A = this chain, B = another copy of it.
């Protein structure tokens, strides 16, 4: 234990200075970091640090740039949140001191990021300039730059970036139709393995919770691109050949998020593209086993941590609603109406509660997942993503 390392006598006549030093050396409320989280407020851009034990907001922090499509990862001690802004901003938030620890603008336009297995590296995937940059989690200094070069020295937008076991990052090149594995065991010398011709325009991807399967959605092709990281020598396979690419033209904003796909036991629950269905896929065979009708076009399809319930939110005009699928019966058991423009859902680590953001009601609602009763609600300005610190210990987020 380190006691505040300054002399008391020296400061006794200077209360203000003393107070500053006090704050500097952590003389704040003691706070475990296991039950903390962050709510993204889009407009005006800010975050709230929240506590999932007391269901309270702890503090609000602004000065984070454009948060219209922001995502978050956590340091392995769950003390720091790293926020990836759409404007290329990368901000390190200290959850114990409720302040920005460090902030940089790392690119012109970024889409998301990940943290390495050992917690020492942050990777950010960028549209402009297309590629992946690797930063130190400690200092946010640039460690490595991986331009997404293809063909005659063109740069591709990079999407679907995830961390994977053995200190790897995996991502997809939208313009090139490629999946790359970057091995960062030597952080300054990333080793890249490339998989080409995986399908047209991968637009997002997910890693299965066990870190084994990387699955990319294809905007320009039917089906999904599957890479089994236990057998990379087998290359990328196409699964669910009827999936996606509707015959009608669809605006991109209706493409479902892939990180929200649910794995429960052997089953994967997948939002159908442009249709009012959740697809149930057998993870052993990658075959479709059931189509579950839902109220609208699904966006996030998320499993409660025990896999028993699958919660689904929807695209406009059905985005005031949430439906819950029972994973045993494979049918809807509950419908809720949390509020206008439900954008995101996050389960508490052991699944007793779920937090739901209703953007146009300026509310975050907290439900008991057992009784489906609303427990509490917090005001928030145009809330979108909700991210709890237990993500620190998970792969592929």
- Please list the residues of chain A having a beta carbon within 8 angstroms of any beta carbon in chain B: 1-4, 8-9, 11-12, 15, 18-19, 22-23, 25-36, 51-53, 58-59, 74-80, 95-98, 117-119, 165-167, 185, 210-212, 230-231, 264-266, 284, 305-308, 328, 349-352, 370, 389-390, 392-395
Contact = CB atoms under 8 A, between A and B. Distances in A.
A380 to B, nearest CB: 19
A15 to B, nearest CB: 5
A315 B341 CA distance: 58
B117 A32 contact: no
B26 A351 contact: no
A76 B53 CA distance: 8
Contacts of A392: 34, 349
A328 B34 contact: no
B34 A53 contact: no
Contacts of A389: 34
Contact of A306 (B59, B74, B211, B266): B211
B395 A305 contact: yes
B306 A32 contact: no
B96 A370 contact: no
A190 B97 CA distance: 40
User: Could you tell me the dominant secondary structure of chain A's interface residues?
Assistant: loop
Contact of A34 (B2, B117, B393): B393
B29 A2 contact: yes
A34 B74 contact: yes
B77 A33 contact: yes
Contacts of A11: 8
Contact of A390 (B3, B308, B393, B395): B393
Contact of A77 (B53, B58, B231): B53
Nearest to A11: B8
Interface centre among A75, A77, A185, A308 (most CB of B within 10 A): A77
Contact of A393 (B166, B167, B393, B395): B393
Contacts of A230: 308, 328
A200 to B, nearest CB: 30
A394 B265 CA distance: 16
A327 B22 CA distance: 51
A372 to B, nearest CB: 12
Nearest to A34: B78
Nearest to A163: B350
B1 A98 contact: yes
Given A8-B18, A167-B370, A351-B165, A27 B26 contact: yes
A119 B26 CA distance: 26
Contacts of A349: 76, 392-394
Contacts of A328: 230-231
A32 B96 contact: yes
Contacts of A75: 32, 34
B306 A34 contact: no
Contact of A212 (B26, B265, B350): B265
**Ordered nearest first, which 9 A-B pairs have the shortest CB separation?**
A32-B79, A34-B78, A32-B77, A349-B393, A12-B12, A26-B30, A2-B29, A211-B306, A27-B27
Contacts of A185: 370
Nearest to A329: B230
Given A167-B370, A350-B117, A22 B27 contact: yes
A212 B307 contact: yes
Interface centre among A3, A18, A350 (most CB of B within 10 A): A350
